[in-house]
Amino acid sequence: MEDCRIIDLYWERSQDAVTETQNKYGRFIYSIAYRILRIHEDAGECENDTYLRAWNSMPPQRPSALNAFLGKITRNLALDRYEKEHAQKRGGCQIPLILDELEECIPDDGDRTELSLEMRDILNRFLEGQTETARKIFLRRYWFGDSVKEIAQMYDLGESRVKMTLLRSRNTLREYLETEGVSI
């Protein structure tokens, strides 16, 4: 089913909206949650919470890209859940490492799970200026939470190349943010 029709179902308050969303995006939503949480049960609960949040958000919101809308909801829910679960301890998950990597580039506004709209726009412009490979690696690491090893396997690259690409991207991002007037 087309995304615009699924969104229409939400606006009509039809129960089929959730079913169609699950059929089309269930695996996508689950994979985002699982990559952050690394626990099947928690990822499943986060997936269900995503459907509820989408149901409560439409209307009044009418997303232009349903997959991005659902991905953002899922990611934020999973990060919130992760933060609550790991408030006193640091687990073996990639999230603490990823946040530490980004800390040198992106200012900490006190809430790492929600970037301001301005920062989101700046990051989007930055990513548009990157090569396709650098952009994909950056997003797989910092949006989806993939490990360096997973990214290397996914794109048939060496781990050292992935690490170097990420380092160069972070350095370029830091410089780009300075030109945009964002202080770190």
> Which sequence spans correspond to the domains of the chain?
3-85, 95-179
Closest CA to 95 of 105, 104, 86: 86
Lowest mean pLDDT among 111-115, 126-130, 156-160, 178-182: 111-115
Tokens of 76: 């934020």
Class at the top of the CATH hierarchy for domain 3-85: mainly alpha
Q: Is the per-residue pLDDT at 94 higher than 90?
A: no
Tokens of 14: 């039809």
Rounded Cα–Cα distance for residues 54 and 58 (Å)? 6
Give the CA distances from residue 180 to residues 63, 75, 123, 173, in Å, rounded to whole numbers and listed in that order.
28, 26, 10, 10
> What is the CATH number assigned to the segment(s) 95-179?
1.10.10.10
Q: Is the per-residue pLDDT at 154 higher than 70?
A: yes
Binned at pLDDT 50, 70 and 90, residue 90 comes out as very low
pTM, rounded to two decimals: 0.62
Query: Residue 46: what pLDDT?
Result: 96
Binned at pLDDT 50, 70 and 90, residue 183 comes out as low
Give the CA distances from residue 64 to residues 4, 7, 69, 70, in Å, rounded to whole numbers and listed in that order.
8, 9, 8, 11
Residue 59 class from Cβ within 10 Å (0-12 exposed, 13-18 middle, 19+ buried)? exposed
**What is the pLDDT of the chain when averaged over all its residues?**
86
Binned at pLDDT 50, 70 and 90, residue 91 comes out as very low
Rounded Cα–Cα distance for residues 27 and 139 (Å)? 18
Q: Is the per-residue pLDDT at 28 higher than 50?
A: yes
Kindly state the percentage of the chain with pLDDT values over 90: 59
Mean pLDDT value across residues 42-70: 94
> Is there a shared CATH topology between the 3-85 domain and the 95-179 domain?
no
Question: From the CB of residue 35, how many other CB atoms can be counted at a distance below 10 Å?
Answer: 21
